[in-house]
Amino acid sequence: MNGCIFCKIVTGEIPATKVFEDEHALAFRDLDPKAPTHVLVIPRKHITGMTSIEPEDEAAVGHLFSVATAVAKSEGIVRSGFRAIVNSGPDAGQSVYHLHMHVIGGKAMGWPPFPGD
């Protein structure tokens, strides 16, 4: 999709530190990591976000979970634990409108996600 930063990473127009890729998905390190491991897992296909997933996308979207686990294994954070997050819309802080799963780990995390409360 024109102007989409993650589509440009898919095509190679914008460089990224890739950690995994296959026919349907790509995983690369976040530019502004929030944890020792912070990898983004995306479908190659442009899907605007979680609320734009169509029935024909479900296999490719489900595959993102397998890729996230493969990344967690290669990052060595399966035993220590990790979080897979999809931010959807303004309250969640979605800033890039190409579906992506954050895979975060390597450090203990807090819960729930409202630091000010």
The secondary structure of 89-102, three-state, reads CHHHCCCCCCCCEE
Is 100 a known active-site residue? Answer: yes
Question: What letters, b where the CB count within 10 A reaches 16 and e where it falls short, cover 62-90?
Answer: ebbeebbebbbeebebeeeebbbeebeee
Instruction: Work out how close the CB of 72 gets to ligand 5GP at its nearest, in angstroms, rounded to a whole number.
Output: 17
What is d(CA 3, CA 53) in angstroms, rounded to the nearest whole number? 20
- Footprint (CB under 5 A) of Zn ion, residues 44-83: 46
Indicate which of Zn ion, ligand 5GP, none lies near residue 95 (CB less than 5 to 8 Å, by partner kind): ligand 5GP
Contacting ligand 5GP (CB under 6 A), which of 1, 21, 31, 107? Answer: 31
Number of neighbouring beta carbons within 10 Å of residue 20: 15
Note whether 5 binds ligand 5GP by CB under 6 A: yes
Note whether 57 binds ligand 5GP by CB under 6 A: no
In the bound state with ligand 5GP, the residue whose beta carbon lies nearer, of 16 and 77, is: 16
Active-site residues: which are they? 100
